[in-house]
Amino acid sequence: MNLIMLGPPGAGKGTQCERLVESFGLIQLSTGDMLRAETSSGSELGQTVKKIMDAGNLVPDEVIISMISGQIDQHNEAQGVILDGFPRTTAQAEALDVMLSEKDLAMDFVIQLEVDEDAIVERISGRFSCAKCCAGYHDTFSNTAVEGICDKCGSTEFIRRTDDNPETVRSRLAAYREQTAPILPYYRDKGVLQSVDGMKGMEEVFDQIKEIIEGG
**CA atoms within a 13 Å half-sphere pointing along the CA-CB vector of 164:** 14
**Active-site residue 160, yes or no?**
no
Q: Which of 160, 161, 177, 200 is catalytic?
A: 161
Q: Give the Cβ contact number of residue 60 at 10 Å.
A: 12
Q: Which amino acid is at 55?
A: A
Asked if the bond preceding 87 is cis, omega within 30° of 0, the reply is: yes
* 50 noted as active-site residue: no
Does residue 161 have an active-site annotation? yes
**Among the options 19, 36, 50, 127, which is catalytic?**
127
123 is catalytic: no
- Residue 106 and residue 190: Cα distance in Å, rounded? 11
Residue 118 DSSP SS3 = helix
Among the listed residues 50, 88, 188, 210, the single catalytic one is: 88
**Going by C-beta distance under 8 Å and a sequence separation of 6 or more, which residues neighbour residue 48?**
63
Q: Which helix (H) or strand (E) holds 127?
A: strand 127-130
Active site residues: 13, 88, 127, 161, 172
